[in-house]
Structure 1
């Protein structure tokens, strides 16, 4: 009898945990697993601000997918997903190659919503993460140490706040006291959806770092040397980082899967795609019955449930539901080795919170870098 083929598309947080558990869970079963991901390195998003700030090396936040797969008996394929033929149980790659499967899971994340902004090609986007890191390092290498620069972060969410503070900290520690100019532009308020104490502490950190905050300001266009605002004002900028909202990848639009109004894949509580027996979706691309924030914490916690449900499906057993927390711990780094933590209305900040976050992040990475 031919082995059951499980195909994982995308090296997201949930899928790397499935890979890590493959041999221990599926030992003795006639099952083959393949991970399809064009980049050999997966980036752990929780440590990106620390890398930008200079607290970690780039390699500290990277997971070597070929090595991880080899260690756990999974095949890594560097192909790029193009289309899905669900009836034929086949995936088409951009190379023209096709892959068949018995069970499929998608964890390909979201992409930056650049369409509302003209000239977004002149900006660096925070996703894909590996491209962002390359752009930032390239910018640092070509910086003229004698000339101050203006850096603009577009987006007032967690990513915008963390990366704005991280970049400012890196420049201040490597370039000295030269008068760089920093601004953060938010279409709405700062850290909307967070409690007032968190928002106040983040604003204090931005002020202390010399980052000028413009809230309720819309950026309509980006040029090579500046930003155009909705009110007609133009701001000079040498480096623009887009940390605005994300959207589903275009490849999902014609995949034949049930999609939400926003274009995300509809899944049931067991993480299976609605009305599909053998196809799963996790991470940012999944639209859960109770819509969830696009936060990495959910993808991380979906990993063990997905691994168990793939095993249960192989065995013909009932699948288990994923129970997301309604409130989860939010950790926000503040550039220097300080961070703030919140859950609901609870809040704390300081250097000890950064050390706590560091232990969590380093511990997470150690699972996949051994």
Structure 2
């Protein structure tokens, strides 16, 4: 039996690599002679650089950059020929901020701009920035400040400060710093910058914002957008609201928005790997309605369907209905919480419980 194991991370508990190993170990507990191809994946969020490094080779370059709270953090990007791959979460990720200090009005994306500047200095002519898992809501203003936009102090002070920017915003130095470089925002989030579907309203609460702060942050981003995008075209672009508005900043610099899932799946040649498989297994921490809106498991299932191979999902939680899952090309879904008996058990013993679940599922799908 040959299977392809292609999960995303289980946020907060397992990396994509750890999840893939747990599934493989569990399946082998039932099918000892298993032929398993492990292909851990990322949609642009945490794990983006690690996954692409394994698939593409290249060189990782480590530097210290400004973290979301202003303190130095260690980060790295991947350089493959003249293309740099940057994982924004390494510089401004939610995991870098203790729960009691989470405040999207104060966190900054300056470190992402520093990574871009370093990559360009190292010879990159194309920079792909994976967006996801951020602790920020500053519209990428910190990124722009790190590349030379002014006023630097106001732009790098967090999303809450954007409503009181003195005068206008001068992007000329940042545009010059990235001239001749192709910038790509790799994301499968299609939210605009502002409004009820924008960065503040949709993602702000995940980063610590209450209802009142969500309204203030959206208003501050509107001031920033008026100063940088008078026509209103860029702020409404799908993906502008990704990673607290990092997508918007890249658009301001002439960048484009592309599917992070599609880019990663192409890099690992998932279609080629799936073609000769009996079963494809994917998964993530929570398999919910958002998962069917272009997130990684949906991309894996689509690829499997195109190759005529069944795809199953192992996830921490499953809240998708069977009819919706089947329409997306998913043959079956299994919940780690249900298998473990409680959310506490699933969270505290994630790898062990995922291995147990995979062994049970293998018995049902053994051929």
Q: Which has the higher strand share?
A: 1
Structure with the bigger percentage of helix: 2
TM-score (norm. length: structure 2):
0.33
